[in-house]
């Protein structure tokens, strides 16, 4: 079982999980459609990442359904559940997502990780979301108990 290092325990003990309502999808569109992707009016939480070989989007499935006809060559995966780690992590903190990904790998749960300046987020397949939340909740509770000892 993967456990956080003693220096990381306070971060896990302070973590609150936010399980966002609704389904999300991960979309890849060709770079030739980057301007079209840029024009999308997306609500939080969403992500648009420009790479040399693609533009990746993470969007609510309902928002994608409204816009998908504009992207005929899109590759779409989902449905996913979005989980946010509601704890402020410094950019110098090492290993937080490593613990999360190792723990969920042991549970057989694949993740798609995203980070913003203030928070880390993961997408898990909708069918694995309950298992993921339960495993993460146990990790947080163990961390809180260890802090009290």
Q: Where are the domains of the chain?
A: 9-148
- The CATH number corresponding to 9-148 among 2.30.40.10, 3.30.2130.10, 3.20.19.10, 3.30.1490.20 equals 3.30.2130.10
Instruction: Express each pLDDT in 8-39 by its tens digit.
Output: 999 999 999 999 999 999 999 999 999 999 99
Instruction: Express each pLDDT in 35-55 by its tens digit.
Output: 999 999 999 999 999 999 999
* 130 pLDDT more than 90: yes
* 2 pLDDT more than 80: no
Mean pLDDT of the chain, nearest integer: 94
Measured in degrees and rounded to the nearest 5, phi and psi for residue 119 equal -140, 160
Is-contact 3 13, C-beta < 8 A?
A: no
Instruction: Express each pLDDT in 107-126 by its tens digit.
Output: 999 999 999 988 999 999 99
Q: Mapping DSSP to helix (H, G, I), strand (E, B) and coil, where does residue 66 land?
A: helix
Number of C-beta neighbours around residue 60 at 10 A: 20
* pLDDT at 74 (0 to 100): 97
Alpha-carbon span 35 to 143, nearest angstrom: 45
Write out the two tokens for 41: 């009016």
């Amino acid at each position: 079982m993967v456990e956080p290092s003693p220096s990381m325990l306070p971060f896990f003990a302070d973590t609150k999980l936010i399980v966002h309502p609704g389904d999300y999808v991960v979309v890849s569109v060709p770079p030739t459609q980057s301007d079209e992707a840029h024009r999308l009016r997306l609500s939080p939480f969403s992500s648009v990442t420009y790479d040399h070989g693609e533009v990746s989007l993470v969007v609510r499935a309902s928002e994608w359904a409204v816009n998908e006809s504009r992207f005929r060559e899109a590759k779409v995966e989902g449905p996913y559940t979005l989980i946010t780690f509601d704890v402020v992590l410094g950019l110098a903190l090492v290993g937080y997502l490593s613990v999360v990904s190792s723990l969920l790998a042991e549970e057989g749960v694949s993740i798609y990780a995203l980070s913003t300046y203030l928070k880390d987020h993961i997408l898990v397949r909708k069918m694995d979301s309950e298992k993921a939340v339960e495993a993460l909740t146990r990790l947080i509770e163990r961390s809180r108990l260890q802090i009290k000892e």
